[in-house]
Amino acid sequence: MYVIVAGAGKVGVNLTRELLGQGHEVTLIENRRQRYQGIEQLLEHNILYGDASELWVLERAGIERAEMVIAVTGDDEDNILICQVAKEKYGISRIIARVNNPSNRSHFDLLGIKPVVSATELILRLLEHEVPHHKLVHLLDLEEEEIEIIEIRLDEKSPVVGRTVGDLDTPDNTLVISIIRDGRGMVPNATTVFQAGDDILAVLDPQREEELKQIFTPS
């Protein structure tokens, strides 16, 4: 696959190296002269000097035949513009944009730039998983497909403790898929009994989240 990567920061360079290692053809574009010179030797003909938000630079990189454009510069407006142009002007259907400042996330959404990757958001999410602030943690959100996987911690006050999975009256479009007990995951059956301290994994339609939460947590 031919991939164009915009921005040769640490993310861009490592990504390019990995993609090359996997046998893909990659052009990395960098507009800071010094940075470009610093990695030119490492990447040789796989790096191009120029501003990836200039159309002629993208054309020079061969955007017409690119199958994917990844914008990982340190500027959110540049990443938005590069992806917007790639998608709308050059018809590249596969794009990935990096969000530097999570508060700019809504701008990417507004302009139809997706999927996006935000290291800050990812770390915050991991942090939430490790040190749950709430009893409910999102493990996976597929917004487009309207499905998510959540984790709920049961404490001793949970109304389901002592009851079996089969006893539950769970709403449509929700399913308990796993129970993590004492650090080990298992796939429950109808006779499995919930215990305090269990982490419940459930797959569900995001709209059902509140209903499911009511079932597992004390009101």
Cβ nearer to other proteins, comparing 51 with 209: 51
Asked if 62 and 52 touch (Cβ cutoff 8 Å), the reply is no
Cβ nearer to other proteins, comparing 41 with 56: 56
Residue 35 CB, shortest distance to other proteins, in Å, is: 18
* 3-state SS track over the chain: CEEEEECCCHHHHHHHHHHHHCCCEEEEEECCHHHHHHHHHHHHHHEEECCCCCHHHHHHCCHHHCCEEEECCCCHHHHHHHHHHHHHCCCCCCEEEECCCHHHHHHHHHCCCCCEECHHHHHHHHHHHHCCCCCEEEEEEECCCCEEEEEEECCCCCCCCCCEHHHCCCCCCEEEEEEEECCEEECCCCCCECCCCCEEEEEECHHHHHHHHHHHCCC
Residue 53 CB, shortest distance to other proteins, in Å, is: 5
Residue 123 CB, shortest distance to other proteins, in Å, is: 21
Cβ nearer to other proteins, comparing 107 with 208: 107
Residue 106 CB, shortest distance to other proteins, in Å, is: 7
Residue 111 CB, shortest distance to other proteins, in Å, is: 6
Cβ nearer to other proteins, comparing 55 with 186: 55
- Binding residues (CB under 8 A) for other proteins: these are 53-56, 75-78, 80-81, 85, 88-89, 101, 103-104, 106-107, 110-111
Cβ nearer to other proteins, comparing 88 with 155: 88
